[in-house]
Structure 1
Amino acid sequence: MTETKAAQPAGEAKPRRRQARGERRIQQLLDAAASVFSRTGYTSASTNAIAREAGVSPGTLYQFFPNKEAIAVELGERLTHRMREAHGALFTPEYASLPLGEMLDAVVDPMIEFNCQNPVFLTLIHSGDIPGVMTEEHHALHAALQARLEELIEFIQPELSAERRARTATMVFSLFKAGLELVLAHEGEERDAYVEELKASLHGYLAPIIGAETPPRTP
């Protein structure tokens, strides 16, 4: 007796294809929104401008997002998730075991690269009228990264008080954010020069606190 294969339920493959097409369209719209937000700012951007940038009709955009705020929230969530994954992997004991200059290269360069590739992230955060959920997520991300940095400082200099570690981490992030704005405002060799200035500023601030050489290993 010939064995027959069970037939695939009718229509099962189509929803998966539709879902994949839908995700591609969503990403297309988010990429377009990132370009528009970066170019004009969040406040001045419109769904019509985002649809034009994506090469679709406003009706197509509204199939996926009801308004500009929903687009910004989805874009912000995806960027925050990627930033959490990328930056969270940098503050580790492996990096803390490096001399300060090498540690700054290993930590700062990927953070600069992420922000240069995604300038819309700072554009959204600096906008005064972004949806509140984005502000909350950014504060949560900042708090998590600062906590990791404080742990890194404690690993290098365990004798520092918790208060001093917190102040040091706060200053490091403040210096980085100020330098990052200058980096993003320039291109080419000038951008590279400001990256080096940023690292020099961080090195000058951190060296007297945590030392510039390879930290001694605990037996």
Structure 2
Amino acid sequence: MPDSQEQQEKEQPPRRRQARGERRIAQLLEAAANVFCTTGYTAASTNAIAREAGVSPGTLYQFFPNKEAIAIELGDRLMHEMRETYGEALAPVDPVTPLEEAVGAAVERFIDFNCEHPVFFALMHGPDIPGRITEAHDALHATLLSRIEGLLSAFLPDVSPADLTRVAHMCLGLYKAGLELVLAHEGAEREAYVRELKNVLVRYLDPLVGERPGRPDIAMTTNP
């Protein structure tokens, strides 16, 4: 007869052990996300993560050797989900799509993701993120810029590649600056900042886009 939980788990069928392991990893990652958001990556500890997860440090070490490994696994999963998000948010649009509509849809998709996963901002934009996450973030950043350029090209078909890249960099920089303000607020105030962020992006792009067939008057579609 097994005399410990560990022995019982070892004697379970492999598929059941694997399922239990995945649930435990998900539990630890959720706890780590809470700790990283609360204290930041540097101040976080494996003991704090284990305590947040309601398990012993020994249980945590069965799955992760240190907090960097936890952060990397969490970052990898968030990166994968973010790639799916920007694939949908920055899909090519019809050139006659109103600029306000295209900007609004992209901003809302990304804001929803970051509000649902606040740890993404904490890990990706903190001053002390692990090296491997930094490399992955740089790759994501480059791909994201490329997708923004693809989206903008529908509105700026005659702009040179260099100018298009510059505009994409500006849009992403404006978004990141606005995102920090959005995440710092909640409720109606957060919604107000989201609206301001959309307005900033639209008003920056509007003079560059100019008049296009089928485009509504900007004054009728943005807030003052």
Scaled by the length of structure 2, the TM-score of the pair is 0.87
Q: Secondary structure at the match of 1:92?
A: coil
Moved more, 94-103 or 74-83: 94-103
Alignment of 1:1-219 (within 5 A): 14-94=13-93, 97-211=96-210
Contact 1:73 1:131 in 2 (8 A): yes
RMSD: 1.9
Distance in 2 (alpha carbons) for counterparts of 1:92 and 1:150: 11
Structure 1 Cα separation of the partners of residues 17 and 61 of structure 2: 17
Structure 1 pair 49–158 and aligned structure 2 pair: CA distance change class (3 A): same
Deviation at 1:159, TM superposition (A): 0.6
CA contact (8 A) 1:100 1:212 kept: no
Distance 2:177 2:91 in 1: 24
Q: Residues 43 and 127 of structure 1 are in contact (CA less than 8 Å); yes or no, is this contact kept in structure 2?
A: no
Q: Work out the CA distance in 2 between the residues paired with 1:131 and 1:62.
A: 19
Shift of residue 215 of structure 1? 6.7
Structure 1 residue ranges, 4+ long, deviating more than 6 angstroms after superposition? none
Letter in 2 for 1:82: E
Distance, in Å, in 2 between the alignment partners of 1:59 and 1:126 is 30
Deviations 1:36-69 (A, max 9, x none): 0001111100000000110111000000000000
- The one-character-per-residue Cα deviations of 1:87-116 (angstroms, maximum 9, x if unpaired) are 122222236542011112211101001001
Distance in 1 (CA, whole Å) between partners of 2:212 and 2:36 is: 42
What is the count of residue pairs matched by the alignment? Answer: 206
CA contact (8 A) 1:95 1:106 kept: no
- Gapped regions of structure 1 (runs ≥ 5): 1-10
Superposition deviation, residue 193 in structure 1: 0.5
2: CA distance, partners of 1:214 / 1:21? 57
Moved more, 152-161 or 166-175: 152-161
Mark the CA change 1:120 to 1:23 in structure 2 (over 3 Å): closer, same or farther. Answer: same
Q: 1:173 & 1:77 partners in 2: Cα distance?
A: 21
The equivalent of 2:222 in structure 1 is none
In structure 2, C-alpha distance between the alignment counterparts of 1:16 and 1:52, rounded to whole Å: 27
Q: Distance in 2 between matches of 1:79 and 1:129?
A: 18
In percent, how many aligned pairs have the same letter? 60
Quick one: which amino acid aligns to residue 54 of structure 1? A
How far apart are 1:84 and its partner, in Å?
Answer: 0.7
Residues 1:18 and 1:166: Cα distance change in structure 2 (over 3 Å): same
The question of whether the paired residues in 1 share the 8 Å contact of 2:96 and 2:212 is answered with no
Alpha-carbon contact 1:97-1:215 (below 8 Å) kept = yes
> What TM-score do you get using the length of structure 1 for normalisation?
0.89
Alpha-carbon offset, residue 129 of structure 1 = 2.5
1:168, distance to aligned residue in structure 2 (A):
0.3
1:29/1:54 contact within 8 Å kept: yes
* Contact 1:153–1:210 (Cα < 8 Å) also in 2: no
